[in-house]
Amino acid sequence: MTSTPRNQGDVLSLEKVSKAYGPVQAVVDFSLALAPGEIMALVGPSGCGKSTVLRLIAGLERPDRGRIRFGEWVVADPNTGVWVPPEKRRVGLMFQEYALFPHMTVAQNVAFGLMKWPREEREKRVQEMLELVHLAHLAHRYPHELSGGEQQRVALARALAPNPQVLLLDEPFSNLDPGLREQVRSEIRELLRRLGITTLFVTHDQEEALFMGDRVAVMHAGRLEQVGTPEEVFHRPETRFVAEFFGPTAFIAGRVTVRGLETELGFLPQRVPLPEGTRVEVLVRPDDLRVEPDEAGSGHIVQRVFQGMHHLYHVRLPSGRIVHVMSEHAASYPLQSRVRVVLDPGHDLSCFLEGRRVVEEPAVATASMPA
């Protein structure tokens, strides 16, 4: 597991935080730190503990172990008994279940967290926030008179109004239909960037995490598996779980030799710092492969999924292993036809030993499976 070492300038940090609900270990030894202005996407399958992490940060749950800080300020530490209640933590929340209040206008919704502010300042702030999300002209509407995207922007304005030091977003776009979701998330990302607000963004959607996050933290069964830039977690996953989480993936058998890797799809001139003969698994994504029709080929097309821009073929290799191969949409091969699978990644492939990535060598690899 990787965890982020704590830096002096971190706005938010969790240090080995654990939380159980009875027998369920929802969050285990979880460490993560956010730099000022960073958007961190926390991603993982449903039930892996993402919302619990947000609730712990917001102060809606108490950790069993570990420490949570905002900068140098410790807000939760069961060891010393420190506990700062949610309303004192200055976090902005935009949770799925925190929908807008239906009986309040847009302006009243945004003013909700500002009730202790003097009236004049409050009105000025509401106006400022509505202008920020381009909704000043709808201040007197009610939520049911707004589109889904407009409602999201009001919810964001409401979360930002009290000037939080950290913004926590939990699946904020899950109720929007796909077309609108893309547009709203671009707008919101742009806005968060512009404001430079430190944000922890929870989603179960891997594409959304790669799009939204300056860094992406991948969670699995209560634990942090890896944290890194979108490119790092996608191209250099540290565990099999992370590799498989970001889309169709196959692991083909490989054997280390002094010159490179022997695989069932041919030879890869990629050095692996392991003893000769070590058996590894090589991570192969659909765009690392191509198929060529070949009656003597040893691959069999067992499934074909037309995805518009391309076809995704599922090809059975002689070992019985199935690989996914992306192919341009114009090239259409029938089911059960025989093909030659060519491994042509154009970049180094990750190797795994006992489920963990072992190597990364800068070599351009090209190989083809013997027919």
* Number of C-beta neighbours around residue 164 at 10 A: 18
In the list 11, 30, 50, 243, the residue contacting ligand ADP (rule: CB under 6 A) is 50
In the list 4, 13, 18, 51, the residue contacting ligand ADP (rule: CB under 6 A) is 51
In the list 36, 47, 148, 370, the residue contacting ligand ADP (rule: CB under 6 A) is 47
The minimum distance between CB 66 and ligand ADP, in angstroms, equals: 15
Farthest CA pair distance, the chain? 80
Q: Please answer whether residues 216 and 209 qualify as being in contact, where contact means their C-beta atoms are separated by less than 8 angstroms.
A: yes
Q: How far apart are CA 182 and CA 286, in angstroms?
A: 24
Q: How far apart are CA 224 and CA 27, in angstroms?
A: 9
The minimum distance between CB 61 and ligand ADP, in angstroms, equals: 8
In the list 48, 133, 216, 242, the residue contacting ligand ADP (rule: CB under 6 A) is 48
List the structure tokens of 150. 């407009």
- Any bridge partners for residue 306, and if so which? 311
Q: Is 62 in the site for ligand ADP (CB under 6 A)?
A: no
| CB nearer to ligand ADP: pick between 154 and 166 | 166
- Give the C-alpha distances (Å, rounded to integers) separating 274 from 239, 258, 277, 348: 18, 9, 8, 16
| CB nearer to ligand ADP: pick between 21 and 306 | 21
* 82-83 and 73-77 strand pairing: antiparallel
Q: Which stretch binds ligand ADP (CB under 6 A): 5-13, 21-29, 178-186, 301-309?
A: 21-29
The minimum distance between CB 219 and ligand ADP, in angstroms, equals: 7
Q: Please answer whether residues 298 and 371 qualify as being in contact, where contact means their C-beta atoms are separated by less than 8 angstroms.
A: yes
Q: Is 57 in the site for ligand ADP (CB under 6 A)?
A: no
Q: Is 31 in the site for ligand ADP (CB under 6 A)?
A: no
Residue 222: closest CA among 2, 12, 10, 19: 19
Q: Which stretch binds ligand ADP (CB under 6 A): 18-26, 64-72, 120-128, 151-159?
A: 18-26
* 73-77 and 39-43 strand pairing: unpaired
* 279-284 and 250-256 strand pairing: antiparallel
| Length of the chain measured in residues | 371
Q: Is 21 in the site for ligand ADP (CB under 6 A)?
A: yes
Euclidean distance between the first and final Cα of the chain, in Å?
40
Q: Is 46 in the site for ligand ADP (CB under 6 A)?
A: yes
| CB nearer to ligand ADP: pick between 201 and 333 | 201
| CB nearer to ligand ADP: pick between 198 and 203 | 203
Q: Is 52 in the site for ligand ADP (CB under 6 A)?
A: yes
In the list 12, 17, 26, 166, the residue contacting ligand ADP (rule: CB under 6 A) is 26
Residues that bind ligand ADP (CB under 6 A): 21, 24, 26, 44, 46-52
